[in-house]
Amino acid sequence: MVWPVFNVSLYCKQVESRIKMMNFMKVLYDTVKMGTILNMIKIVNKCWDENITVEQVLSDKEWLLAGIDFLPC
C-alpha cells in the first residue's frame, strides 16, 4: 500500500491532486505510525517543492548517504 501511494504522489502535477495525496499520506501515517511514511512525505514534498526527482533527493547527504533507512521503489 505504501509504495503505490508514494509513486502516484511523485507524479501528481495538479495542486488539487497533490493535496488529496498528501491528505491520504497523512491519514495513512496517523493510522499506522510508520516512520517510513514520514520519510515518504518528506521526500514527496521535496520533489514537489524543488521540482526534482526522487533519485536526486535520495542521493543528497540528508538521505541515503546519511544512513536514513528508506527502501526506494
Query: What count of other Cβ atoms lies within 10 Å of the Cβ of residue 57?
Result: 21
Is 71 domain-assigned? no
Question: pLDDT tens across 17-63, in order?
Answer: 999 999 999 999 999 988 888 889 999 999 999 999 988 888 776 66
Domain count, the chain: 1
Q: Is-contact 24 5, C-beta < 8 A?
A: yes
Nearest Cα neighbor of 12 from 38, 58, 56, 49 is 49
Query: What count of other Cβ atoms lies within 10 Å of the Cβ of residue 43?
Result: 20
pLDDT surpasses 60 at 71: no
Range of the domain at 43: 2-66
Q: How far apart are the first and last CA of the chain?
A: 12
Nearest Cα neighbor of 40 from 32, 13, 17 is 32
Is 72 domain-assigned? no
pTM: predicted TM-score of the whole model, two decimal places: 0.81
Is 73 domain-assigned? no
